Chains A and B, each alone.
Chain A
Amino acid sequence: MNPNVMNTKEILEQLTEIFHQIFDDESIVLTPEKTAADIADWDSFNHINIIVAVEEHFGIKFQTAETEELKNVGHLIELIQQKLEAEKR
C-alpha cells in the first residue's frame, strides 16, 4: 500500500468525526466491527448522508452498488483506502 495513503486509524478517526456531525452525537464510538444495527438512526437515509459526507471529506467517489454492499465500518474503511490509493496512482 502507498505509504502516503492514510492508515486505518487515521481514517477511523476522521470517520468518527463525520458520524458525530451526521448524528449530532459526540458519544458515538466507531470500531471496524460496528454496523448500522449498532447505531441508532443509521437508517437508509442517514446511510446516504454518511456516504456523501465521506465522498466530500476524502475527495473520493463511490459507485452506488459499492455503498449498498458495505457490511460494517471496517469494510467502509477498506473501501476508502482503496479509493485513496487509486487517486494517488
Chain B
Amino acid sequence: MNHLGLTFHHIGLAVSQPDKAIAFLAELGYQIGPTIHDPLQKVHLNMCTHATNPAVEIISPDKDNDKGPINELTRKNSSGVVYHTCYVTNDLAATLAHAKTLGLHVFCVSAPKPAPLFENRKVSFYKISGMGLIEIIEPLESAESEVKGA
C-alpha cells in the first residue's frame, strides 16, 4: 500500500560530461532525450527512458556557473555518481505530512521550482535520514507557464 503517495520516476546520475553515460545507456537500449538546460538548477539534463529498466536522468554541470549544486560532486566523483532518486506525487503537502507521521527526518534542500525537463512542473529536493536525497515532482497543475530566472 503506497501510503506516501509517491511513485518512482527516475535515478539521478551526476557526471562531468554526459557523453559516456549517453553512449552506455544507449547500448542498453535506452531512448536518450534531448539535452535541456535548467537555469534555476544550473545544470544540463538528459532524461533516458527504457521499456523495462528504470529511467535515468543524466545531470551535468552548467560550465558557465561554478556555483551549481553538482559542480563539487562531479569534481570529486569524476567517474560519475548516482546521487538521488526521484518520485512523483499528486499532493506534495500530504506526502510530506505523512512522512512526518512516520517519524522520518525530512530536510528541504531545495524548495519547489518549475523544471523545464518536466513541462515546468514544480520539483523539490529533500534529504531524508536513512534514505538519502530524493527529488519530488508535483502534478501538471503545479506547472508555471515559464521558467523565471532563465
Contacts and interface: CB of A to CB of B under 8 A. Distances in A.
A32 B132 CA distance: 29
Interface residues of B, number: 14
Contact of B111 (A45, A55, A62, A64): A64
A56 B72 contact: no
Interface residues of A, number: 11
Nearest to B108: A64
Interface string B117-131: 000000000010100
A59 to B, nearest CB: 10
A48 B107 CA distance: 8
A69 to B, nearest CB: 15
B107 A43 contact: no
Contacts of A39: none
Summarize A's interface: helix, strand, loop or mixed. helix
A55 B76 contact: no
B63 interface: no
Interface string A36-59: 000000011100110110011000
Centre residue among B73, B83, B105, B109 by max chain A CB count within 10 A: B109
Interface in A51-85: 51-52, 55-56, 62, 64
A64 B76 CA distance: 24
B110 interface: yes
A78 to B, nearest CB: 20
B119 to A, nearest CB: 25
Given A52-B127, A56-B129, A64-B110, A43 B105 contact: no
B105 A64 contact: no
Contacts of B34: none
6 contacts: A43-B73, A45-B83, A52-B127, A55-B105, A62-B107, A64-B109
Interface of B: 69, 72-73, 76, 83, 105, 107-111, 127, 129, 133
